[in-house]
Amino acid sequence: MKVITAKSAGFCFGVKKAVDTVYEEIEKGGRIYTYGEIIHNELVVEDLEKKGVTVLNSVEELNEIEEGTVIIRSHGVSKDIYELLEEKKGIRVVDATCPFVLKIHKIVSEESKKGRHIIIVGSSDHPEVKGIIGFAGDSVSCIQTEKEAEEFLPESGKSVSVVAQTTFNLHKFNNIVEILKKKCYDVHTVNTICNATEQRQTEALEIASQVDAMVVIGGKNSSNTRKLYEICSERCADTRFIQTVDDLVNESLKGVKCIGITAGASTPNYIIEEVQKHVRGTDF
């Protein structure tokens, strides 16, 4: 059996760094908290809980603690949270914000100091966007759809700077920017979309085109994994969506000579390795 595993399968660089940071901090000992779940994967969060890591879900919960280490996840947090953490002298802060997100914080903070209105193209409910808003000063808007861009009322004479949530769809971002350019004066755009997702999808498509069967690993509710599954199914009729190796155990891979493996953004490496081991070790 020939097995081709996508290099971009699973965690992106920023998420890997954040998850690794938590495990490194566990080794060091002491009370450990993450501000929000480090990743949207139940297995990982449960494992961390077993190892004594507590998830803080709100500012109130953060306010209640007086000592220990707080790890900031890859999405980042707003300036207020950094300030609150600084006030708490007994707390050690380990910042695992993805460098690409930190770059957006820097851009919006500088652009806002120049007196420009900041527009973040993304979902205002998303923690990453909430964090960015916290660095953008008082003159900031969040736009998610072309319709919202059409309805946007610019302040007269005010220049505008536009950034994007890292996981925003590029095509939609370009459409929104085009609409804003027609409505606003002096629009400065920085495309801050991260290409980790696009790379994962492109590689999955390439692999699915060369194999007899394709395995896509990820959570049932993970939208980026579903998207990977759809992309692979277009090229490889025998594409299987699994959560863990257990879902493959009773499946027949008869006649499959070459198999491809990829995984969604929140799938840990050890799950990918278990699947790899299973398909290599199975006698067909």
Choice from 98, 204, 215, 232 touching ligand F3S (CB under 6 A) = 98
The span from the CA of 80 to the CA of 75, in Å, is: 15
Q: Which of 25, 111, 128, 203 is catalytic?
A: 128
Alpha helix segments (H runs only) across 76-195: 79-87, 99-113, 127-133, 146-151, 170-183
**Residue closer to ligand F3S, measured from CB, 98 or 275:** 98
Q: Is 196 in the site for ligand F3S (CB under 6 A)?
A: yes
Spell out the residues 6+ positions from residue 210 whose beta carbon is closer than 8 angstroms to its own.
4, 258, 260
Q: How far is the CB of 102 from ligand F3S (least distance, A)?
A: 10
The span from the CA of 66 to the CA of 256, in Å, is: 57
Choice from 12, 44, 129, 149 touching ligand F3S (CB under 6 A) = 12
Q: Is 41 in the site for ligand F3S (CB under 6 A)?
A: no
**Residue closer to ligand F3S, measured from CB, 116 or 200:** 200
Choice from 5, 41, 141, 166 touching ligand F3S (CB under 6 A) = 166
**Residue closer to ligand F3S, measured from CB, 100 or 241:** 100
Residue 181 is encoded by which pair of tokens?
């350019």
The span from the CA of 108 to the CA of 119, in Å, is: 9
Residue 159 is encoded by which pair of tokens?
């220049």
Q: Annotate each residue in 213-252 with x if it binds ligand F3S (CB under 6 A) or - if it does not, as one string.
A: ----------------------------------------
Q: Is 132 in the site for ligand F3S (CB under 6 A)?
A: no
Choice from 9, 15, 108, 253 touching ligand F3S (CB under 6 A) = 15
CA distances from 209 to 225, 229, 233, 248 (A): 18, 13, 10, 21
For residue 102, the tally of other CB atoms under 10 A from its CB is 15
CA 71 and chain centroid, separation: 16
Choice from 14, 76, 219, 260 touching ligand F3S (CB under 6 A) = 14
Residue number with the smallest Cβ distance to ligand F3S:
14
Q: Is 173 in the site for ligand F3S (CB under 6 A)?
A: no
128 flagged as catalytic: yes
Name the helix (H) or strand (E) containing 2: strand 2-5
Binding site for ligand F3S (CB under 6 A): 12-15, 74, 98, 100-101, 166-167, 194, 196
